Amino acid sequence: MKQLSVLINGGGMVGASAALALAQHGANVTLLEPFPPGKDSGTDPDWDLRISSVNNSNWEWLLELGIGVCVRQQRVFDYQKLSVTSQSGHNLSFQANEAGLSKLGVMVENNALQLALWTKLRSLKNVDLREGETLDKLNAGTKTVVLSQGDTLSYDLLLGCDGANSIVAQLAGFHYRGWDYEQRCLLANVSLEKPIEPETWEVFRPQGPYALLPLTEQQACLIDYGLRDNINSLQRDKAGLEAYLRETFSPHIGNFRVLKSASFALQRKHAAHYVKEGSIVLLGDAAHSIHPMAGQGVNLGFADVRCLVEVLQENTPSVALDKYEKTRQGENAKMMRMMDAIQFGWRSRNPVMQFATAASLKVAAFPWVKRWLLKQAVGE
Ligand SMILES: Cc1cc2nc3c(=O)[nH]c(=O)nc-3n(C[C@H](O)[C@H](O)[C@H](O)COP(=O)(O)OP(=O)(O)OC[C@H]3O[C@@H](n4cnc5c(N)ncnc54)[C@H](O)[C@@H]3O)c2cc1C
């Protein structure tokens, strides 16, 4: 990979991890990011609302990249148990020790992880960080781009890691299939009266699931998926929002105080191709945005990066990119189809569908099915 010149647009969690992994394998990397992560004063006691559950396999990989010493430890929380419950009360749970692990994964604040990746990147000589700059023009034939401040750069590989509205994808003419979910995702960080277990859980209802991500022993992120109009009107009424959250979550976790809340639109988008012109590649949300109910979005993005780095080590770039596209598009499509099936099954008011989803939980409790599901949860 030495001598390979890689230009990456977008330094979020996926783009920054791609920059770090490729640079550590000897590539010359230029990273463009209009909004680089700010310094962390280290004094804010409360987590930001944008949090990701990162599976054990991806977390180990991030630690191998060296982020362990850079990430603020108060913004990482190991979880050992994961459970899902149907509206009819069927429950399926996984424990880390069933997979011989000490944890299933970690909850990590997106900002803290991005900042840790950038701190590592700043220490590397073969990384050029272009902060505040964006990509204005692309000439795929000459493999050159023009930046917002007028510089022209050339590349061997151009990686679009610039999220769901990727400018690289627009300039290169990538096409997507997808739709807008008519749902929004409401997030509320809360301080709890009683300590909770290091367990993440989700309960399914026809209007969409609700879930908890543990952040510390006495802080959690509460998640509620609902119809766009319902969530929007809840957000306009602070007292109503708190009363609604209490009614939903207090039976599980007792009393709590809401620290902050916000909601996010949800969309499903999948690029028809991941590679164009033999040198332009999409990764992360630029290639696929997925319903967050199973906490897979950035995990799929990290899996894209790991795959790309692996194939580039073993093949010429053109063979590598072919392999990358085939492997990752297939894997990501599988996960997206699974999310669609779950969405449809759980939300359906059709008794046959409700029976089928309840039965699927029972099937999933069979030891070999459970072992398979557990492997998916930890990212193996
Ligand atoms: C409510 C919610 C909860 C979620 N929870 C989880 C979870 O628990 N686990 C999980 O795995 N995933 C989760 N996800 C998904 C996860 O947040 C995304 O998959 C992840 O952020 C994608 O990372 P990314 O780096 O590909 O894109 P982004 O995070 O969108 O980053 C893109 C980067 O590109 C930059 N950029 C944008 N435009 C340009 C441009 N023109 N030029 C240069 N740079 C540009 C942006 O500033 C940004 O830094 C969740 C998503 C939501 C909405």
For 236-290, write each residue's pLDDT tens digit: 888 889 999 999 999 999 999 999 999 998 889 999 999 999 999 999 999 999 9
Establish whether residue 34 lines the binding site of ligand 1, counting it when its CB lies within 6 angstroms of any ligand atom.
Answer: yes
Q: How many residues are recorded in the chain?
A: 380
Q: Give the Cα separation of 180 and 193 in Å (integer).
A: 37
What residues have CB less than 8 Å from 227, skipping those under 6 apart?
A: 182, 183, 184, 207, 208
What is the predicted pLDDT for the residue at 85?
Answer: 84
- pLDDT of 350 higher than 70: no
Kindly state the average pLDDT of the residues 52-62: 95
pTM: 0.93
Q: Give the Cα separation of 37 and 43 in Å (integer).
A: 16
Assess if residue 58 is contained within a domain: yes
Assess if residue 277 is contained within a domain: yes
Look up the domain containing 140 and give its range. Answer: 5-35+50-75+109-178+268-347
Q: Give the Cα separation of 57 and 103 in Å (integer).
A: 10
Establish whether residue 28 lines the binding site of ligand 1, counting it when its CB lies within 6 angstroms of any ligand atom.
Answer: no
Distance from residue 250's CA to the centre of ligand 1 (Å) = 30
pLDDT band at 293 (very low <50, low <70, confident <90, very high): confident
Q: Which two tokens stand for residue 340?
A: 């669609």
Residue labelled with tokens 């026809």 = 206
Assess if residue 373 is contained within a domain: no
What is the predicted pLDDT for the residue at 101?
Answer: 87
Assess if residue 316 is contained within a domain: yes
Q: Which two tokens stand for residue 8?
A: 């990456």
Tally of domains within the chain: 1
Assess if residue 141 is contained within a domain: yes
What is the predicted pLDDT for the residue at 281?
Answer: 98
Q: In this structure, what CATH number is given to the domain that contains residue 57?
A: 3.50.50.60
Assess if residue 21 is contained within a domain: yes
Kindly state the average pLDDT of the residues 193-203: 94
Angle at which helix 228-235 crosses helix 238-253, to 10 degrees, equals 110
pLDDT band at 222 (very low <50, low <70, confident <90, very high): very high
- For the beta carbon of residue 336, count every other beta carbon within 10 angstroms: 21
Backbone angles phi, psi at 86, to 5 degrees: -85, 165
Q: Give the Cα separation of 307 and 51 in Å (integer).
A: 24
What is the predicted pLDDT for the residue at 227?
Answer: 79
Written as one letter, the residue type at 208 is G
Assess if residue 288 is contained within a domain: yes
Establish whether residue 85 lines the binding site of ligand 1, counting it when its CB lies within 6 angstroms of any ligand atom.
Answer: no
Assess if residue 258 is contained within a domain: no
Distance from residue 263's CA to the centre of ligand 1 (Å) = 15
Cα 89 to Cα 37, 86, 92, distances in angstroms: 42, 5, 10
Distance from residue 66's CA to the centre of ligand 1 (Å) = 21
Least confident of 1-5, 89-93, 121-125, 170-174: 89-93
What is the predicted pLDDT for the residue at 236?
Answer: 84
